[in-house]
Structure 1
Amino acid sequence: MPLRPEVHDGVRLGAAYYHEYQPYERLTADLDLMAEAGLTLIRVGESVWSTWEPQDGVFDLEWLLPVLDGAYERGIGVLLGTPTYAVPPWLQRKHPELAVRLRSGRRVPWGARQETDFTSPVFRRYAERVVRRIVTRYAGHPAVVGYQVDNEPGLHLMHNPEVFAGFVARLKERYGDVAALNERWGLTYWSHRLSSWDELWPPEGNTTPSYDLAWRRYQADLTGEFIAWQAGLVRELARADQYVTTCLAPTRPAVDDVAVNRALDVAAGNLYYAAQDGLGLPDQERRHDGGWFGQGVWQLYQSADRHRGAKQAPFLITETNAATIGGSNANYPGYEGQLRQVAWALAARGARLVEYWHWHTLHYGHETYWGGLLGHSLQPGRFYGEARRIAGEFAAAADVLRGLEPDADVAFVRSAESDWAFQHQPPLSVPGSYDSPDPRSYARIFGAFYKGFFDAGRQARIVSVPQLRGAPEEWARRHPVLVAPALYAADDATLALLDGYARAGGHLLVTFRTGYADAEARARAEVAPGPLRAAAGVHYLEYSNLRTPVPVRAAEGCGLSLGPDARATAWADGLVPDDAQPLAWYEHPHFGRWPAATSRAHGRGRVTYTGTLPDSEFAAALAEFCAPPARWADLPSTVTATSARNAGGDRVWFVHNWSWDDGVRVDAPEELVDVLSGERIGAGQAVGLGSWDVRVLRAPAGDSFP
């Protein structure tokens, strides 16, 4: 049976499959069940170096052949992983010096994964040997459609002496001499001024913000360079029609989304979320950072938009919830319908693959209670049945889903460097505390504004700072609204582009801490918001954290509509309007002298400045003020409507009901056709949704919306 390549215009369903982990021989049964369910891709081989190479230089490559043969016979493609993230015991025993050293100086003990310094030439020799053996053996197998190099890279910030030596060499390249470093980092402070490179102290004792930012940049560069090195090895041996990717875990500390994907053919990664009531709307003010997985429907969409933003192109989800996720004490499988809802949401945001981790629930090991599509009984149940339905719907809708390009009402500028800078010097305290620094400050700020636009029914695109290049006029044409949340560590050129964007006709929304520091994380020696002061028409000379939320009210006649429960939280800039119009005022005996938000016409566009962390009501009101009208009006609080254009020019709507209400009805804004049932729906006609339901609706090319 001919295979369909995975990087294509359709959307496919798959699962990670580890036949070598099964408690007894069941390859035929597993593959038959996959084929019956309509799964078209499996990921294999990335976690078992000690199976590929049980002894130093002794290889066993044939164990995978029956899996590949059986998959090919059933029309199932294979994403073949390289096993470099989980080293075998013999390598650890032979080279204990390869262990990662942490900030404390402690070696990471062997017994988990990713314990090894992947920059070491010694490690690279062993890694190259096993990668070449595997790819050489299977590059010609027709089942193999692509390769995943490594897995979830960037787990540790490595403090090994050799890594530090490389860091010093990189600084020499960047700064030239210690005099420049002294000036750029402000090393006069606390007598840190250097007279030679060998006086640079190791990072475990560092307190200098500019040093920390440079160290984080370097660690992310190392991860990107390692992935690029492996991708190069694989491409030497792979077929021309096979792609190369990795599985990115965006919360890893030594990762920059754009840098790690630069050498890859397609972005891919994991996307985990809190199911059950965690996917309910309306949202109950769940925390903005999400931990290592998302909490709330808005974070599901934010994570998908971030994966797409890594290359500004379609992406693969190589891991997502099948059933429960996490440890033995966190058993929260999705309600009936939630797997389907999430799969369609990911497809709507540009995913070409939704792959579950994993096919079967493991019977041993650290992840024994991380649920697969099959439970410990290995019998098909509810999750298998729902996956089968999703695969069938994806297949039935294949023509409509071809070439989907998600719509966006607003673009968000994401800054990995501002995130790193805030992890070192957070502007916010942990909620409920007086002075406990919150290293998730950037995620909280970014998330609050993303959630505001999501709650207002607007769709987003995420753009990283390195991608923010080109003519401001082009950005203004493509994106009517651009949001730069807490763009703290920013060079003058980036801020000038934002200024030019507004001049060219875009609506720029900036927040507190945007423009405050330069590219070295040094506070600018000018009145804040620095280079954006003239464009924003506002300045401030002081600021304060807020221990408790402060009510805010809309300024009269400004066009901002605020409800009585809107609040400012966590932070307040002491904004002084120069020629900007206040939008909202604090209701407080001290902070009430300052506006919480302002707006000003700038060239052909506008700049809106928000000097606080808005709660959900305030953030949604700001989104309504900035964004074009929502395409579906007056949706119930439990319903979302997102859209994309397909290759034929049709707009495809994905309308979700994130609740138990089984009688939801919304009015169609135009004539539509249900992609799955063929039902025709007239403009203004009610669209019905059951509980935890999704409708996929097509509008003809040339519809009435831009």
Structure 2
Amino acid sequence: MARDSYMNVQVGVDYYPEHWDESLWEPDVKLMKESGVRVVRVAEFAWSRLEPSEGDFQFGWLDRAIGLFHKYGLLVVIGTPTATPPRWLTHDYPDVLPVFADGRIFHEGVRGHRCYNSASLRKYGNRMIDRLARHYSSHPAVIGWQTDNEFGMLDCHCDSCNNAFRTWVKGKYGSLENVNEAWGTVVWSGEYSVWEQLTVPYGGSPHQNPSLLLDFQRFQWEAVADFQKAQIDILRTVCPEHFITHNFHSYPQRLNLYPVGEELDVAAFDYYPNTSPAKQSTTPYSGALSLDLTRGIKRQNFWIMEQLSGSPVCWMPMWRTPYPGFIRAYAWQAIARGADTVVHFRWRSAAAGAEQFWHGLIDHSNVPGRRFAEFTQFAGEVNQLSDLLKGTVLKNEAAILNSHEQLVALDIQPQVENMDYYENIKQYHRVLTKLGIGCDVINWREALDGYKVVIAPSLYLMDEEAAAGFEAFAAEGGTLILTNRSGVKHMNNVAVMQQLPGLLSHAAGVRVDEYDPIGTEPHSIVDEEGTAYACSQWNDLLTPVTAEPIAWYGDDFYAGIPAVTVNRFGKGQVYYFGTHAEESYWSGLLEGVAEKEGLLRFAGLPEGVQASVRSGESGSFLFLLNLSRQPQAVPLSRRYSSVLDGGERSGELALAPYGVEILKL
């Protein structure tokens, strides 16, 4: 099976044969086939069944399950089971278990109880992966692997992590003198005199040296990437024809997704849009951001490895059941924004364990119902359009930059009440989505070639290389939008000793003379037409150098002082937002920028309706999705052909609640 099999547009399910009596397996697999399922994920939590005691490998049950999938023509992705080390391993080799800063142990019983730096976990986990890979490398049903499950930050403080962190710091800085200088440890007499004094940040207070705390995060990012790479190296060697993915989850993440995603063939995401009616005004847009962010991990199409199938519960009270059309619409939203394969979690609700009421497509009764019928409809539509959509991608001209370093640094030292790095990104992305403008969300260090408009929120940490890249983008004709709290610090989390926005001052053409952390206190800005808008969080008092003001503060002692500026820079322009303006101001400004830059835009979208375009050799396809409980009407500028039913669409397109339309452009 070719490694590019992950590019197929298809539908799947997550299935746990080890949870069910074997008499259920074949009826389940037969029904999967009949419902349109093409791919199944298995075994990511099954270590205790695959190796019930040290060295006793038992793959027979999985052989029989995968044999059934093959019999019915279904493809299989196997999860490496390192997220759930078995009890024999944690009992005999306790270094596997993470340790919290206060000395408490992250015990077995749930999942994720594994220290990425544990020598025992590396040894026995890699042995398991090698055995699995060799056993299934030539099986005709197996096409790929998922590493571990939902990597995240553990903040482990065990002896292994302590030693590994010290080694990491030595490798980065070389000498204690360099560490003391870079971290500014002279403050509060924190200087190190021998290496043994340098440890993970135990501390009884969270308010420790911010440079130490940021580097501890970076160390953990590299530990996760290294832990995964050891698995990938085995899989690449033994199964060169199989693809490799990982299922990221729950944004924002402190974990830096980009180095973890670098070694993968394709990124994946676990997508659980909120079913609550109270969240209907926000869920479509926060979900769109999550999908665009996942696509940006590798700047290519991705998988959904877990898609909502019913009410989730385990870590929180039970959500509302999905409204009719919800499951289908949000699964199509994932495809519209670049997912090639959508795998639903799970086939049937679990009868045992902590996730018994994290509902699957089929309830405990084992009687397929409304949700299953909706899933079957979706799977049938995808199978009908699979060949047409294969190879199609999104080609956006606008981007928002995302940085885990900025997020973590701002979390270490919160700047002001109500300022949240990711929530601000949500607003900018929501505005673009409502305007019908496609947007990529990419690593802030990525090349910006091909984009016309780039929003770069709160570049709090900055270096000369990054600043030069932003200047080059604007000089060559790009529109760059900067926001407050940019250029504040060097990359070692130490403040710059120059007027803000520091290294970005030349591009912005403005200087910050003073700032006012206003938090939630009501303030306003006034634009060139005299219209007032609310602003919050932070007010930079700006003095234009080469920039032109386009909005001014409307109140307080700095009424009349510039709040938003634009600077002509080479062939392009750089906006600087000294404050966090309300959504309507951003909407008007971005609408004007889009018109000036000629961005592809689908205008006139009602609330809750989203538009995306996928293009490829087979053509371009416009996805229109009503992700709300109200019927909506979308104006069409010309006559289109629907690829769902072949009919013609023109005038005003009526979309039922959670209605979906796909038009040939």
TM-score category, normalised to shorter length = over 0.9
Residue by residue over 1:493-533, the C-alpha shift from the partner in whole angstroms, topping out at 9 and shown as x without a partner, is 11111111111100000111122111111111111001111
1:133-282 alignment runs, 5 A limit: 133-205=131-203, 207-238=208-239, 240-249=240-249, 251=251, 255-277=255-277, 280=280
Matches of 1:112 and 1:480 in 2, distance apart? Answer: 46
Q: Counterpart of 2:637? A: 669
Mean alpha-carbon deviation: is it higher for 548-557 or for 400-409? Answer: 548-557
Matches of 2:437 and 2:278 in 1, distance apart? Answer: 21
Q: Counterpart of 2:437? A: 458
Say which SS state the counterpart of residue 410 (structure 2) adopts: helix
Matches of 2:160 and 2:193 in 1, distance apart? Answer: 22
Matches of 1:630 and 1:235 in 2, distance apart? Answer: 40
Q: Which one-letter code corresponds to 1:545 in the other structure?
A: P
Flag structure 2 segments of 5+ consecutive residues without an equivalent.
none
Report the alpha carbon displacement of residue 24 of structure 1 after superposing the two structures with TM: 6.8
Residue 555 (structure 1) aligned with residue 521 (structure 2): no
- Is the 1:7–1:352 Cα contact (8 Å) retained in structure 2? no
Matches of 2:608 and 2:406 in 1, distance apart? Answer: 33
1:505-520 alignment runs, 5 A limit: 505-520=477-492
Mean alpha-carbon deviation: is it higher for 594-603 or for 341-350? Answer: 594-603
Q: Counterpart of 1:695? A: 661
- Is the 1:6–1:353 Cα contact (8 Å) retained in structure 2? no
Q: Counterpart of 2:12? A: 14
Q: Counterpart of 1:86? A: 84
Matches of 1:548 and 1:127 in 2, distance apart? Answer: 49
Question: What is the aligned counterpart of 2:102 among 104, 107, 114?
Answer: 104
Matches of 1:410 and 1:11 in 2, distance apart? Answer: 25
4+ residue runs over 4 A deviation: 3-6, 250-254
Flag structure 1 segments of 5+ consecutive residues without an equivalent.
284-294, 432-437, 470-474, 700-706
Query: CA distance change for structure 1 residues 53 and 86 in 2, over 3 Å: closer, same or farther?
Result: same
Query: CA distance change for structure 1 residues 388 and 347 in 2, over 3 Å: closer, same or farther?
Result: same
Report the alpha carbon displacement of residue 51 of structure 1 after superposing the two structures with TM: 0.7
Mean alpha-carbon deviation: is it higher for 70-79 or for 623-632? Answer: 623-632
Q: Counterpart of 1:352? A: 340
Matches of 2:344 and 2:146 in 1, distance apart? Answer: 15
Mean alpha-carbon deviation: is it higher for 323-332 or for 601-610? Answer: 323-332
1:45-56 alignment runs, 5 A limit: 45-56=43-54
Q: Counterpart of 1:488? A: 460
Matches of 1:546 and 1:296 in 2, distance apart? Answer: 28
Say which SS state the counterpart of residue 604 (structure 2) adopts: coil
- Is the 2:161–2:200 Cα contact (8 Å) retained in structure 1? no
Report the alpha carbon displacement of residue 680 of structure 1 after superposing the two structures with TM: 2.6
Query: CA distance change for structure 1 residues 127 and 5 in 2, over 3 Å: closer, same or farther?
Result: closer
Say which SS state the counterpart of residue 247 (structure 2) adopts: coil
- Is the 1:156–1:253 Cα contact (8 Å) retained in structure 2? no
Query: CA distance change for structure 1 residues 190 and 366 in 2, over 3 Å: closer, same or farther?
Result: same
- Is the 1:538–1:578 Cα contact (8 Å) retained in structure 2? yes
Query: CA distance change for structure 1 residues 449 and 688 in 2, over 3 Å: closer, same or farther?
Result: same
- Is the 2:526–2:554 Cα contact (8 Å) retained in structure 1? no
Report the alpha carbon displacement of residue 480 of structure 1 after superposing the two structures with TM: 0.7
Q: Which one-letter code corresponds to 1:29 in the other structure?
A: P
Report the alpha carbon displacement of residue 105 of structure 1 after superposing the two structures with TM: 2.2
Q: How many residues align?
A: 658
Residue by residue over 1:640-665, the C-alpha shift from the partner in whole angstroms, topping out at 9 and shown as x without a partner, is 222121223x2210112233333x33
- Is the 1:244–1:265 Cα contact (8 Å) retained in structure 2? yes
Residue by residue over 1:595-616, the C-alpha shift from the partner in whole angstroms, topping out at 9 and shown as x without a partner, is 3321121111111111222332
- Is the 2:166–2:199 Cα contact (8 Å) retained in structure 1? no
Q: Counterpart of 1:29? A: 27
Say which SS state the counterpart of residue 373 (structure 2) adopts: helix
Matches of 2:279 and 2:388 in 1, distance apart? Answer: 26
Report the alpha carbon displacement of residue 315 of structure 1 after superposing the two structures with TM: 0.8
Report the alpha carbon displacement of residue 310 of structure 1 after superposing the two structures with TM: 0.9
Q: Counterpart of 2:328? A: 340
Residue 619 (structure 1) aligned with residue 598 (structure 2): no
Residue 530 (structure 1) aligned with residue 518 (structure 2): no
Say which SS state the counterpart of residue 405 (structure 1) adopts: coil
Matches of 1:509 and 1:490 in 2, distance apart? Answer: 16
Q: Counterpart of 1:435? A: none
- Is the 1:480–1:627 Cα contact (8 Å) retained in structure 2? no
Report the identity percentage: 29
Q: Which one-letter code corresponds to 1:696 in the other structure?
A: I
Query: CA distance change for structure 1 residues 422 and 548 in 2, over 3 Å: closer, same or farther?
Result: closer
Residue 444 (structure 1) aligned with residue 423 (structure 2): yes
Matches of 1:201 and 1:164 in 2, distance apart? Answer: 6
If the length of structure 1 is used for normalisation, what is the TM-score? 0.89
- Is the 2:602–2:611 Cα contact (8 Å) retained in structure 1? yes
Report the alpha carbon displacement of residue 547 of structure 1 after superposing the two structures with TM: 3.9
- Is the 1:270–1:319 Cα contact (8 Å) retained in structure 2? yes
Residue by residue over 1:267-322, the C-alpha shift from the partner in whole angstroms, topping out at 9 and shown as x without a partner, is 11212221243663xx3xxxxxxxxxxx5211111111111111111111101211
Matches of 2:187 and 2:199 in 1, distance apart? Answer: 14
Matches of 1:503 and 1:594 in 2, distance apart? Answer: 27
Say which SS state the counterpart of residue 5 (structure 2) adopts: coil
Matches of 1:515 and 1:336 in 2, distance apart? Answer: 48
Residue 376 (structure 1) aligned with residue 347 (structure 2): no
Report the alpha carbon displacement of residue 87 of structure 1 after superposing the two structures with TM: 1.0
Question: What is the aligned counterpart of 1:608 among 564, 570, 575?
Answer: 575
Query: CA distance change for structure 1 residues 656 and 453 in 2, over 3 Å: closer, same or farther?
Result: same
Q: Which one-letter code corresponds to 1:674 in the other structure?
A: S
- Is the 2:435–2:602 Cα contact (8 Å) retained in structure 1? no
Matches of 2:3 and 2:196 in 1, distance apart? Answer: 52
Mean alpha-carbon deviation: is it higher for 338-347 or for 614-623? Answer: 614-623
Q: Counterpart of 2:93? A: 95
Report the alpha carbon displacement of residue 202 of structure 1 after superposing the two structures with TM: 3.5
Matches of 2:391 and 2:248 in 1, distance apart? Answer: 23
Report the alpha carbon displacement of residue 235 of structure 1 after superposing the two structures with TM: 2.1
Q: Which one-letter code corresponds to 1:676 in the other structure?
A: L
